[in-house]
Each structure stands twice: as structure tokens, then as C-alpha cells.
């Protein structure tokens, strides 16, 4: 490779780096970056070598000045050239219709190349947390976050319909005291409200259970991705929920993951021995796993799911709080030196419930405007 060609490649690597940060860092002027990158590319491809040689230092200086503002914010862990190569490779020979354009790119992928401590203000970000790019720039998410939002959304709905049911019941009592008849129509209305309480309570229990499964899996997967060099194949398999080609139960994962993730390699939380399991894990598995299983794949031999609305809403509220305790205790047991995970609202019940309630109120305001 000629010296000029080498300098051209090194210069254009700055343009590729700019293209990358422009497509994932919020509040960047992507149009300006695209215009500059396109102009540089066209000039380097189509111009006379002597003109390129003459203008190259100026172009490099301009690109470096633009990149320095991002490098100062996100210090590099490798060379610009290595980043440019990795970014270009993402778009080569893909057969998944560029799925990462929609779902985003792993936080850990970017973190390999640069310090992202100034990107999110979370105290911890899982390796596989997705950072939105292109049209989704500025957005991000991870599956347990979605399931957690689902869970609280359903819980808020269940409570809302239960409150409506109680208020309507009082109205009907007052009407009956005044001599008004309790009609079949009113009975049907109460039945519909009963159903809404039951279905949203039932689905919230299913969703909170799914969240805990997802969260436990996520902790294992995150640790596996960040510690590949330290883990043997068996440990990697376990952290991804498998053992001897079979799937591990949630109880087994909670117990075994601790032995791999914790520095002392101990299992502080015992979930596989019925005589040693403690709260809140005891209630989570003994009182609510059966109810969740019946709600997902019911049979007459399983726990009843035909319950009164007041029983459903109590179970939903109880299980939601138990789930937050389970998730937080597992997190703190795996990572005793870490504080509560910001990226999922610190698993703070009141905080997450208030967010879900505000979202529900926003929807109601929209409906009133229609």
C-alpha cells in the first residue's frame, strides 16, 4: 500500500467514526455529518492524486477537530481505524435484513471501543442493552424493561377497574335503597367489571413472573458476555440457562448463577431446597408459581383461577411487591457492591407504579381530546 493510500484510509477512518457517532449519540447534527462524510468520500474517490495529496492535511484536520468533541466525551479504548473497521463490518454480508437498524446495537459492542460512562446516567448498563441507531437514535431498551412496564401497566389497570367496580357497587346499593330494581343489565355491567379486574390481575401476575425470569436470564447473559475469557464452556452454558443440553428451571438458575457471578462463589439464596428456601422466594415459588402456571396452561387439577375480584386484586398487588423484592435481592446477592439497578427504575415499587399510573392518565387525557 502506497504512503498516500495509507494516509487516505487513515483520514477517511475519521469520517467513518463521525458517521457512527452521528447515528447513535443524541443531539448530533446527523445531516451535517452526512454531508461532510459524503463530500469527503466523493473527493477522495474522484479527485486527482496530486490534488488529494495537497488537500488531505486540511481535510484530516477538519475531521479530527469534529471527532475530538466526541472523543473528549467518550474516550477511546482503541484506535479510530479499529472502530471504523468494526463499524463497516456491521453492514457487510448481513442476511437478517439489517435487524439491528430496528432493534439497536448492544451497549457492550460500543463499550469495547470507547468509554460510555457519559452516555447514560445509569449506575449500570447490561452488555446487551440496545442502543438505538439511525431513526431510533437517542432511544434504548432491554427486554426486562419492557416486561416490567407491561407488569405495572396491567397492575394499574386492574386497580383502576377494581376502584370503578367498588364505586359502581356503592351507586347500585344507593339506588336499590331508593327502590330502584337491580336489573339484568346492571348485573351484566358488574360482570364485565369483574372480568376486567380478573383479567388484568391475572395477566399482571403472569407478566411479573415473566419479568423475574427475564431479569435472571439477563443477569446471567450479561455476566457471560462480559467475562468470556474467565469462563469455561460449562459455565457459559449455565449462564445462558442450559445444562447438559437441557433447560434449567428458574429455581436452579437463581441458585447456580450466584456461584458463578459472586466473587466468593457461594449461593447465598437457596431456592432448590424446600426446607431452606426463605422469603420472599418462598412465597414467590410456593404461593404464586402455581397460580401463574394455572393462568398460562390451566387444567382442573391445578390451582383455581376462578376467583373473586377482591381476591384477584390482592394477589396481584401482593405478587407485584414480592417480585420486586425477589429481583432486588437476587441483584444485590450477585452484585453486593452495586446499588439498585437504575436502568429498570431501581426496582422501586412506588416509583414504577407512579410512572405506570401517569401513563394511564395520559391515555385518558388523549381519549378526552378525541
pTM of the model: 0.91
CB 338 within 8 A of CB 124: yes
**C-alpha triplet 264, 266, 267: angle, nearest 5°:** 150
- Which string of b and e fits 182-196 if b means at least 16 CB within 10 Å? eeeebeeeeeebbeb
Task: Tell me what pLDDT residue 91 has.
Answer: 81
Task: Tell me what pLDDT residue 93 has.
Answer: 63
251-260 residue pLDDT tens:
999 999 999 9
158-188 residue pLDDT tens:
999 999 999 999 998 898 888 888 889 989 9
Per-residue pLDDT of the chain (370 residues; tens, 9 = 90+): 588 889 889 999 999 999 999 999 998 888 899 899 899 999 988 888 899 889 999 999 999 999 999 999 999 999 999 999 999 988 886 666 557 777 899 999 999 999 999 998 899 999 999 999 888 888 899 999 999 999 999 999 999 999 999 999 999 889 888 888 888 998 999 999 999 999 999 999 999 999 999 999 999 999 999 999 999 999 999 999 999 889 999 999 999 999 999 999 999 999 999 899 999 999 999 887 766 666 565 555 555 556 799 999 999 999 999 999 999 999 999 999 999 999 999 999 999 999 999 999 999 899 888 8
Residue 305: partners with Cβ closer than 8 Å, 6 or more residues away = 202, 291, 294, 295, 298
DSSP code of residue 120: -
Task: Tell me what pLDDT residue 289 has.
Answer: 72
d(CA 96, CA 208): 31
User: Which residue shows C-alpha cell 451497549?
Assistant: 107
Amino acid at each position: 500500500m502506497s504512503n498516500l493510500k495509507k494516509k487516505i484510509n487513515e483520514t477517511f477512518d475519521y469520517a467513518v467514526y463521525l458517521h457512527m457517532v452521528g447515528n447513535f449519540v443524541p443531539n448530533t447534527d446527523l445531516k451535517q455529518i452526512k454531508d461532510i462524510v459524503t463530500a469527503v468520500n466523493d473527493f477522495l474517490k474522484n479527485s486527482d492524486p496530486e490534488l488529494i495529496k495537497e488537500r488531505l492535511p486540511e481535510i484530516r484536520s477538519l475531521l479530527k477537530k469534529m471527532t475530538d468533541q466526541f472523543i473528549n466525551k467518550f474516550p477511546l479504548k482503541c484506535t479510530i481505524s479499529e472502530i471504523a473497521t468494526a463499524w463497516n463490518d456491521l453492514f457487510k454480508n448481513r442476511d437478517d435484513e439489517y435487524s439491528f437498524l430496528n432493534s439497536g446495537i448492544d451497549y457492550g459492542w460500543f463499550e469495547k471501543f470507547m468509554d460510555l460512562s457519559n452516555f447514560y446516567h445509569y449506575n449500570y448498563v447490561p452488555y446487551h442493552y440496545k442502543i438505538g441507531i439511525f431513526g431510533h437514535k437517542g432511544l434504548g431498551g432491554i427486554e426486562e424493561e419492557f416486561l416490567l412496564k407491561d407488569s405495572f401497566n396491567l397492575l394499574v389497570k386492574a386497580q383502576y377497574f377494581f376502584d370503578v367496580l367498588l364505586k359502581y357497587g356503592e351507586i347500585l346499593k344507593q339506588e336499590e335503597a331508593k327502590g330502584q330494581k337491580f336489573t339484568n343489565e346492571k348485573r351484566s355491567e358488574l360482570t364485565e367489571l369483574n372480568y376486567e379486574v380478573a383479567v388484568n390481575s391475572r395477566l399482571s401476575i403472569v407478566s411479573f413472573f415473566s419479568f423475574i425470569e427475564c431479569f435472571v436470564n439477563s443477569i446471567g447473559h450479561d455476566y457471560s458476555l462480559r467475562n468470556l475469557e474467565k469462563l469455561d464452556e460449562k459455565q457459559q452454558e449455565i449462564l445462558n440457562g442450559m445444562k447438559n443440553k437441557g433447560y434449567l428451571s428458574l429455581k436452579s438458575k437463581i441458585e447456580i448463577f450466584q456461584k458463578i457471578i459472586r466473587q466468593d462463589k457461594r449461593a447465598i439464596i437457596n431456592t432448590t431446597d424446600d426446607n431452606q428456601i426463605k422469603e420472599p422466594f418462598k412465597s414467590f415459588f410456593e404461593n404464586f408459581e402455581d397460580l401463574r402456571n394455572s393462568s398460562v396452561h390451566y387444567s382442573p387439577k391445578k390451582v383455581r383461577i376462578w376467583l373473586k375480584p377482591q381476591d384477584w386484586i390482592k394477589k396481584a398487588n401482593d405478587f407485584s411487591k414480592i417480585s420486586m423484592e425477589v429481583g432486588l435481592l437476587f441483584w444485590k446477592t450477585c452484585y453486593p457492591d452495586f446499588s439498585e439497578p437504575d436502568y429498570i427504575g431501581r426496582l422501586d415499587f412506588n416509583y414504577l407504579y407512579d410512572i405506570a399510573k401517569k401513563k394511564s392518565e395520559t391515555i385518558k387525557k388523549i381519549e378526552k381530546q378525541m
